[in-house]
Amino acid sequence: MYIAPHDNPTPTELLAKPALFELGTVVATAGFLHFFADKAAAEKTGSAIALNYTRGNWGVLCDEDKALNDAALDPSAPGRILAKYEVQNKDMEKKVYT
């Protein structure tokens, strides 16, 4: 699975970092689930995305959006946190926004 071209830490590196925030309810669209060959591949990719997201790897974003994400982590001025990951299966690539 391919997460981001510029910052692709290993799961071990990500797990060594504390989560920056807690996730609420996590859902996946039917299109996301259909994109993968089987449920296990979708779950593995979804888990990797959630791990990256909660550890501050925002994926493929411009510097301005990354700075807005970092500012949104301040509890006195919460805001939105956006991330974009590029994932691929054997035939095509898709973008996943969180």
pLDDT in tens, 9-61: 777 888 888 999 989 898 888 888 888 878 888 888 888 889 989 999 898 89
Candidates 53, 78, 54, 57; CA nearest to 68 is 78
The residue extents of the domains of the chain are 11-97
- pLDDT computed for residue 3 by the predictor: 46
- Residues 50, 19 contacting (CB under 8 angstroms): no
pTM of the model: 0.80
